[in-house]
Amino acid sequence: MQSRKKKILLLGSGMMAIGVVDYMVKRKENFITIGTNIVKQGHALAKKYPGRIQVILLNVKNEVKNNHNKF
């Protein structure tokens, strides 16, 4: 049976993320995207698992400039 690639979004790259990532990469089908506002910290974590993790800048304080998202 062939396992399918699973995409996981992890929000944050702080101390708790280390244990979460270490656990999730045990399964070879998991690919992790780390969304963080501290990109340097995210890249340091991704460096442990080349090709398994990507890091994106995520800043929830930035205001969305889209009329469709008004509350």
Interval 5-45: pLDDT, tens: 999 999 999 999 999 999 999 999 999 999 999 999 999 99
Q: How confident is the model at residue 71 (pLDDT cuts 50, 70, 90)?
A: very low
Q: Between these two residues, 66 and 19, which has the higher pLDDT value?
A: 19
Within a domain: 45: yes
Report how far residue 45's alpha carbon sits from residue 18's, in angstroms, rounded to the nearest whole number: 7
Per-residue pLDDT, 69: 47
Which residue matches tokens 């398994």? 52
- Enclosing domain of residue 45: 6-59
Q: Total domain count for the chain?
A: 1
Within a domain: 43: yes
The enclosing domain of 45 has a CATH number of 3.40.50.720
Per-residue pLDDT, 61: 77
Within a domain: 51: yes
pLDDT above 60 for 70:
no
Per-residue pLDDT, 3: 74
Phi, psi of 8 (to 5 degrees): -125, 135
